[in-house]
């Protein structure tokens, strides 16, 4: 069994998963502390879902070790399953059942008796805010209500750890905010450790105690949201150009006083500095001297999306927009 700190709810060491010649997960080491919300971020195809499927015992690793709730996920999967709950991207709900019938069945599958199930449903009805809808057919629920019911089903047996795989993707902003609030309540009111993957960086920034970014199957960055943002500098000057960035432009900006770093991605420049207000005019003048066409120049503090860009080379927000546009046009690739 993997050696683990008693304060750790999840530990992986050298975690690898291969699909034929493709190594989807490549030596991931991570620790999730008991009682925390851990945000797991990454581009599409980076290995997020593969990792979460291994953690919840739906997929065996090719190599490495996994400990979840103190048990080896490979040799003791039944012990792990008793102590975790999971709400994955597609909620497995029967539209012909009522919410109450679904939760009753879920409770019985975990060995709970009638009074225990009734007590848990009473607690969860308030926590998840399902209300009178418990007696209605699930087929009449909105998307947000189905997600909340799926959360309740994952919590009916009082798990130690809750896995949430993009729980708010595709929901309208109001439904997203309600799920967002309920995840926070589950963590603070019930003390449940939460492992969360999400495409919405504001969720990870506000909810997660710590964040891990996976890229090309490897854990590329990890820390608190504040620490990760501070690693980008106190201020960022974002410059969007008319064309792609040339190396001499980056070199010229790096030579300016008070510039900490310059990153270039396609037609976008990111200048890190400790005093953006004092530097922004110097950046604009230098670009003008070089005859570089500027479409937009912005001064702001770093965000998790800036960290994501530095680590992966792309912005998660752009990926999210492209995916939503693809769904709207019927493209599910």
Q: What is the 3-state secondary structure (H, E, C) of 78-119?
A: HHHHHCEEEECCCCCCCCCCEHHHHHHHHHHHCCCCHHHHHH
CA 68/CA 205 separation, integer angstroms: 24
- Where in the chain are all domains bearing CATH 3.40.50.300? 8-224
**What is the rounded average pLDDT for all residues in the chain?**
89
- Give the pLDDT confidence score for residue 124 in this predicted structure: 86
pLDDT digits (tens, 9 = 90+) for 84-115: 999 987 767 899 999 999 999 999 999 999 99
Nearest Cα neighbor of 129 from 152, 105, 156 is 152
3-state SS class at 237: strand
Residue 82 clears pLDDT 50, i.e. is over it: yes
CATH superfamily, region 8-224: P-loop containing nucleotide triphosphate hydrolases (3.40.50.300)
> Model-level pTM?
0.84
**Helix or strand run (H / E) with residue 311:** helix 304-312
Of all residues in the chain, the percent with pLDDT exceeding 70 is 93
The per-residue pLDDT for range 240-268, each reduced to its tens digit, is: 999 888 899 999 999 999 999 999 988 99
Region 233-301: CATH code: 3.30.70.2470
Confidence of residue 317 (pLDDT cuts 50, 70, 90): low
Cα–Cα–Cα angle for 225, 228, 231, rounded to 5 degrees = 150
> DSSP states of 175-228 as a string?
HHHHHHHHHHHHHHHH--EEEEE-S-HHHHHHH-SEEEEEETTEEEEEE-HHHH
pLDDT band at 131 (very low <50, low <70, confident <90, very high): confident
Burial class (CB in 10 A: 0-12, 13-18, 19+), 22: exposed
- Looking at the chain, which residues constitute the CATH 3.30.70.2470 domain(s)? 233-301
Higher pLDDT, 56 or 133: 56
Dist. CA 132–CA 246, nearest whole Å? 61
Q: How large a percentage of the chain has pLDDT more than 90?
A: 69
CA distances from 175 to 108, 168, 283, 329 (A): 29, 8, 42, 23
| Strand order, beta sheet including 161-165 | 84-87, 161-165, 193-197, 37-41, 210-215, 218-223
Banded model confidence at residue 170, pLDDT cuts 50, 70, 90: confident
Which range (17-26, 36-45, 118-127, 207-216) has the least confidence? Answer: 118-127
CA distance linking residue 123 with residue 116, whole number of Å: 11
Residue 130 or residue 59, greater confidence = 59
Question: Rounded mean pLDDT of 216-231?
Answer: 94
On the question of pLDDT at 298 being above 80, the answer is: yes
Indicate the pLDDT class of residue 324, thresholds 50, 70 and 90.
very low
Strands across the sheet containing 259-265: 259-265, 268-273, 235-241, 294-300
Neighbours of 311 (CB within 10 A): 18
Q: Please, how many CA atoms are within 13 Å of residue 53, restricted to the half-sphere of its CB?
A: 14
Indicate whether 159 pLDDT > 60: yes
CB-based contact 183:196 (threshold 8 Å): yes
């Amino acid at each position: 069994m993997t050696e683990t700190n008693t304060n750790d709810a999840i530990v992986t060491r050298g975690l690898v998963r291969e699909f034929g010649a493709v190594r989807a997960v490549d030596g991931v080491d991570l620790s999730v502390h008991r009682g925390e919300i851990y945000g797991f971020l990454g581009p599409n195809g980076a290995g997020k879902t593969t990792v979460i499927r291994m953690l919840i015992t739906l997929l065996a690793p090719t190599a490495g070790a996994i400990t979840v709730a103190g048990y080896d996920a490979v040799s003791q999967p039944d012990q792990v399953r008793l102590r975790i709950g999971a709400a994955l991207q597609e909620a497995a709900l029967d539209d012909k059942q009522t919410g109450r019938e679904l939760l009753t069945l879920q409770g019985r599958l975990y060995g709970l008796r009638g009074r225990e199930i009734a007590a848990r449903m009473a607690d969860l009805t308030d926590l998840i805010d399902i209300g009178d809808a418990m007696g209605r057919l699930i087929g009449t629920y909105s998307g947000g209500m189905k997600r909340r019911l799926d959360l309740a089903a994952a919590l009916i047996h009082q798990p130690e750890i809750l896995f949430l795989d993009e729980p708010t993707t595709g929901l309208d902003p109001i439904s997203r905010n309600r799920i967002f609030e309920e995840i926070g309540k589950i963590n603070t009111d019930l003390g449940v450790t939460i492992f969360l993957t999400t495409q919405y960086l504001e969720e990870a920034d506000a909810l997660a105690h710590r964040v891990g970014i996976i890229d090309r199957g490897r854990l590329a960055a990890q820390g608190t949201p504040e620490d990760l943002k501070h690693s980008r500098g106190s201020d960022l000057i974002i410059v969007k150009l008319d064309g792609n960035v040339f190396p001499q432009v980056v070199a010229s900006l790096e030579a300016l006083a008070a510039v900490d770093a310059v990153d270039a991605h396609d037609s976008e420049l990111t200048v890190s500095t400790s005093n953006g207000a004092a530097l922004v005019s110097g950046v604009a003048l230098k670009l003008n001297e070089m005859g570089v066409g500027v479409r937009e120049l912005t001064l702001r503090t770093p965000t998790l999306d800036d960290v994501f860009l530095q680590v992966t080379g792309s912005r998660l927000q752009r990926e999210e927009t492209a995916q939503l546009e693809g769904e709207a046009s019927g493209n599910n690739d």
